[in-house]
Structure 1
Amino acid sequence: MCGESPTLRKEDSPTLGGYAAAFDQIQHKQRRSRPGFLLASRSVTDPPHTGSGIAAHRTMYLSSTFLPILLLLLAPQSPQDSIRRHYEVAEAQRRAGNLAAAEAEYTAILAEGYSRLGKIYSAQKEYKEAITALEATVLYRPDSVEILLDLAIAYFNAGQYEKALEPLRKHLARNPQSVGARQMLGKTYFMLGEFEKARDELETALKLAPKEMDVAYTLGLAYLKQRQFAPAKQIYDRMVKQLGNRPQLRIVFGRAYRETGFLPEAIEEFKKAIALDPKFPRAHYYLGLTYLLKDGATRLSEAAEEFRVELIANPNEFFANYYLGIVYLIERKWDLAIGLLEKASRIQPNNPDPYFHLSQAYQALDKHDQAIEALKKSIALNPHLGHNDYQVTAAHYRLGQSLIRAGQTEAGEKELQIAAQLKSESFKRDEEKAAAYLSSKSLREQNSKFPEIGSVEGIVAESNAPDERARRELKGSEAYYAKVVASAHNNIGLLRAQQQDFRAAAATFALATKWNPQLDGVQFNWGLACYKAELYKQAIAPLENELKANPANVSAKQLLGLSYFMVDDYERASELLTDVISVRPNDISLYYTLALSLIKQGKQETANQVIQRMVEIGGNSPQLHILFGQAYYEQGNTAKAIEELKAALALDNKARLAHYYTGLIYPKMGKFDEAAQEFESELALNPNDVQTRYHLGFVLLASQRIERGIRVMREVIQLKPDYAEAHYELGKTLLQQDDIKGAVESLEMAVKLKPDEPHVHYQLGRAYMAAGRKAEGESQLEISRQLKEKARNPMNQ
């Protein structure tokens, strides 16, 4: 926490230096059931260990999936030759010690795997997942025009039209003659409402590929959107000559005309389709619907007749059942309406609309129990408040009426209150509502509800779904390539860990876990890499997952206990470490951290028992005196704490952390110069200890050695850019030195890193005021005041 004085740091754990080799000795023993390689776990700064019972050099095991990825490649999947070749080269390079070259080969596997996943997800209409995979592919293959086009198509199908423009422009910059990219760019402009640009791109695409019917059809739509009927009709007539006079062509032309407002022409196209095949699916339904769009309820009888004819040929057509049911509602033919709307609800059981209209017929026949059931389903399935002109508000109102009529007065009044709270408009008679539902205006307001009465944009964007066999094959391929990607990420993580780049390894293991959380050892690898990178909070989740899958993994439990200790969850840390000690009773480092966890919880008696056991195992060691020193410090007995720390140094003048903790105590006694000397001594033993360097900077600033204190704080930030306390102390000091620009920069970073600390906002507010940014300064001061108030009165929040 950013404070005005130094405090004991969390790194009381021996795993960060100071308790000989035990600081970094966590060992994951090789399992006989799977291959792996040993990754040296000790830092070059770790001192040799001379204590009893602990090996002078220990290693940490990271489970490898080099063999599992090979097994995947031997599976009956295609294509896979390229991936197998990359794998074989990667293994050869790894064995030769060429880790960078090995990583490059695994990166090539990732590019191939992500590319395949992107295509598979797109084929399954899982566009969000496709975008994730293809964006990853672009990182590995930034110059691939094929991938750029695939990514643009995924963006397009996900409705992210603005994002689709960039990869399409990049593609066309490399390949201006690409018909596919021109077509997609035209479609994208169309969806963005830029119809002139859409027309230009689609005309270019059609010149490049005159026989591309999809391009021609979309260009026709672009003409229609610009009210240019003649060139659109010319294109569609040419398509008929090329493809033949087929009913399906007439249907798509009719839909194009209908959704661009050319309703008489749409009616003629639907009639032509019926003349070619009177039983063609949805032809009569489309015709009936277009009658209503053009003339509203005045053509109700003609529309109803078309719906009836549709049902004779296609009795399970949802829309014909649904709309004919509404027609019968208007005509007050309740029983006929109920039969059709019940069937519609069976065809689409998750659609709220048939249930809503059913309730009207049930209520008209005083069947209130059935109306209640239908309305509850409609409310439960309603996708959002504005659906169908706030239909759910009317549903609550009707439900309240039926509940009251059924004798459930209290529940009914509650529903009426909900309807009132939704601020609905005054309700019209049910017959008027149903009639309005079939008006031209209302039907156009339902553009997003069903594809059949969707906007013309829906026609441009729609695509066919794969059949059941194709879906099974796609799912199998998805599972295969997800495992390939996960294994490649895991192997890259192992390579990075082998080079001691644990932060990068952690990020890579996280990706491996995302794609295959069941990959053998990946959760442990991720947690271990996070721990080694000092990302203790992030280490917790994967280590918890590892323990759920493998409760006997004592190393995972030990790492988890230490991670909880590092994030101040001393209760959970002590629980886990107690369990580990029962399995590893001679591991003295565990007693050290367990004792500290118990001290932090105020469980001094239990801590004393742990310390006693530690004495029995390790004897009179420097680390024991360091532990006693910390215990006395926690109790406020600084004199005894100093005495114990001096005893530790008397036994070993290079005992790590003894100088550090002594340096923390001296400022409490007003001895800033002595504190600085202790921190200097600690840094001589461990130059990379960022916290020691921070506290050195702190006491230098506190003792008015400003120039050097600022220099040391900048060194801390260079070593650890996310060190909020260093940014805060530096910013506060720069403000005092009238370096307003520097103060603002440092304090803004401190606020970004620690947004809940009131004193950081306070200092930033002062810096803004000094910079003449009064409004921002007052805002920061107000945030500081609110945070302080929140801290004083947590129960009021």
Structure 2
Amino acid sequence: MIRKFFIFILIFITILSAQDKRKVALVPFENKGPASLNWISGGIEYLLSNKLSVASGFYVIDRRTMKRAFSEIGFNKGVTSDRIAIQIGRITGAEVAVSGTYTDSASQIKLSVYYYNTNNGNRIYQETIAVGKGELSNAADKIIQQLILISGVPVSDMEKNLMSRMLTRKPKAFESFIKAYMENNKPRPNTDIVIGLFRQAIMADKNFWEAYYNLGIVYFNAKKYDKALQQFNKIIAALPDFDKPYYGRGLIYEKQKKYDLAIKDFEQVIDFNPNDFKAYYNLGKISIKNKQYTQARKYLDKATELNPEYAPIYFEYGNLLVAQGNMRKSINDYRKAVELDPNNIKFRQTLGEVYYRSQIYYNALVEFDAILKMKPNHAVANFMRGVTIYKQAVLEELVEAFLDMLNEASGTKKAETSRQFKKNTAIDPVKKKKVYEDMVAAFTKAAQARPKFMQATFNLALTYLEMGDYNRAEQYFKKTIQIAPTLIKAYTKLAEVYEKTGRLPLAIEQYRKVFYLEPGIFVRQPTLGPEHHYRNVFKEFLSELNAKIKRNPNDVRSNIVLAKVFKAQGYNGKAANILRKVLSRQPNNREAKSILAAIEKGRR
């Protein structure tokens, strides 16, 4: 047995020698004892993850990736087989898997631990570890020592010191802590239960700083930033050389946009634990916001070096390139983030929108459809699907028409075919009907998912207008106006519906509303089209406005509209005088202050 063990060690070290980090998959241990010991599995996982996180030579596969692997394999705990070990390696990229079982024996916990090479499925080693019920940390230390022996990974004295840090010596405190940890990792955790269990842990051990920290993170995730800050400050005051509370406090400062304070805390984390990739990641994220792009890349590069499998790092690489104006170049990084975390809707949404803005419409649709497969009522994905369907259809017709033009053009026919190009780019009627139906379906779902989603409602109205369904177009333009009463385009499009259906007085009424929102439109174009016999509505509306002011010289709304008229006509002095009179009566009128400020700025 010993000989076989060393052969496997030599084989495993040879396989891994070219790698910078040893990727470890932690499979939940199976409880073979009473149900009251179910929490032990979570305790082993937490201790191993926590201790290995400070070692630069190891990378523990994250819970989300492991969960995805278990879902694909149909396995979630206990001793792995050679086949399952290979599958875990294939899906997660892990090189070694640790699994096992445990039971109680007298006053001890007896663990059977199995180490697998996930490249070939071979069991490298197995051992039995027996510890007291309050000594799980000792069991974790023995497992880690075995991993170090198997992999040949060097561990520095500083890393050994961090790994040896005792969480608590109170068994009841640790049990409550792990139960809180397990509840918090459920798909729908009960926050009250989590907070209660962490508080129980703290009551059992007033110096259980890891419990204080995790309670702070729960408060942070619940957006109770003041309570979270209290927890982190309490730990820092008592244990100033503990890295985690600085990290938690840095997160709060970053949320509050106190970037200088956040940077200071994340740098403090790195001083205590140079292997904390998330601290580098957050420094990179903040540097992008501060437009310090060179520094941002350095931080993100370091985070990637420490953990090349952390999807948010690549998302920030993408954000960095977008911030620098390199939209298309960002695609590879956003795509990498999606590959590492395929169920992250934010990552897919961003990748889809970048494809859209880069006019790669087919790929954009793939991303939006992937989101809708996970979350069919996602408002933004449905909306973007609708606009992308249209853009894709138009692009296909443009390409086909252009290719036809090239095929037909020769000699003196080139100019003629060029003139025909625009005529040939109209979408085929059958295809157009299908495109519009798909757009209606997408925009309808978006508007239903988010009733005040103005863009979805407005585009739904536009689509019905293009389809010639004037009743529904009218309905949704009116709904758009309810959502966004100052959206001028909604009024002009509603007027267009009335014009197409012969209801000209109603169209005039919509133009009148536009005049009172933005009269400058009619200063530039005072007359309407032939359907209105080129009626000069500006003259009419201005006459009405003057009559209103004559009846009520102190009417604020009417005076602001008149000021807008003068401003659009270039009479800034008259406009400014009116606005000053308005502000003498209503000093806090935002619209008047804004227009006056713009006039005064233009004079400088």
Report the TM range for the smaller structure's normalisation. 0.3 to 0.5
Give the structure-2-normalised TM-score.
Answer: 0.37
Q: Which has the larger radius of gyration?
A: 1
Q: Which has the higher contact order (CA 8 A, sep 6+)?
A: 1
Give the structure-1-normalised TM-score.
Answer: 0.29
- Give 1 or 2: higher strand fraction: 2
